[in-house]
Structure 1
């Protein structure tokens, strides 16, 4: 059964005690206003405003070293993770509603459920 996916989110993983200073820095650095300073009410996720044809920019408070990773959104998370695994990626862990993956190059990324509706103009269709 076909499914769809696209680049969804650039995630700034921040190893900090409080995300606010990082959020203010990246907002000013990228010229993107803060949309949501506390997405889930736990101080772990914050978002900058982007246009519908741009990737989401999400800041995430983490325990590992700071880095940037990307999310690929899909209307079938498992089918997309399986497709990427066949290309050489490795499934690391299933967390809540998404797959943490590792590319053959060692880069971590996530396969997440669809983040915006409509899916948008930069959509891939996979058979």
Structure 2
């Protein structure tokens, strides 16, 4: 048995100025900025969310701007296999830490390791 849930709304930004994009989305969504440079590489920024809300992450990207979802899990491989049974495809394993996947609809999303200490009330249990 493993668990998963919606973890993160990722706003992919094709920009050289992630700070400007972060400020825009912070004001647009009414969410304060937690970090303009989450990992110290200038690629990720985070907005504040409550414990029962999805994380809102901004990511500097080279592809067209879009929004994608992250699904967090306590068993990366089991969750990827479960989604493959639903006809999703694995695209790329990134740093051995998460899978970029594609839904049958063509939407890209990520399956990531557990992001928060407690999964909370929105937990799915899979056998």
Task: Give TM class, smaller chain.
Answer: over 0.9
**Alignment partner, residue 30 of structure 1:** 29
Note if 1:122 corresponds to 2:115: no
Structure 1: segments with no counterpart, 5+ residues:
none
Assess if the C-alpha contact under 8 Å between 1:8 and 1:71 holds in 2. Answer: yes
In the alignment, the residues of structure 2 paired with residue 122 and residue 112 of structure 1 have an alpha-carbon distance, to the nearest angstrom, of: 16
Task: Say which SS state the counterpart of residue 79 (structure 1) adopts.
Answer: helix
In the alignment, the residues of structure 2 paired with residue 95 and residue 33 of structure 1 have an alpha-carbon distance, to the nearest angstrom, of: 28
CA-atom RMSD, angstroms?
A: 0.4
Structure 2: segments with no counterpart, 5+ residues:
none
Q: TM-score, normalised by structure 1?
A: 0.98
Runs of 4+ in 1 over 4 A off after TM superposition: none
Task: Say which SS state the counterpart of residue 94 (structure 1) adopts.
Answer: strand
**Alignment partner, residue 57 of structure 1:** 56
**1:42 Cα deviation after fit:** 0.8
Q: Deviations over 1:60-79 (max 9, x none)?
A: 00000000000000000111
**1:37 Cα deviation after fit:** 1.0
**Alignment partner, residue 77 of structure 2:** 78
Pairwise mapping of residues 97-116 of structure 1 onto structure 2 (< 5 A)?
97-116=97-116
In the alignment, the residues of structure 1 paired with residue 100 and residue 76 of structure 2 have an alpha-carbon distance, to the nearest angstrom, of: 11
**1:18 Cα deviation after fit:** 1.6
Q: TM-score, normalised by structure 2?
A: 0.98
**What is the total number of aligned residue pairs between the two structures?**
126
Q: Deviations over 1:44-84 (max 9, x none)?
A: 00000000000000000000000000000000011101100
**Alignment partner, residue 12 of structure 1:** 11
In the alignment, the residues of structure 1 paired with residue 18 and residue 77 of structure 2 have an alpha-carbon distance, to the nearest angstrom, of: 31
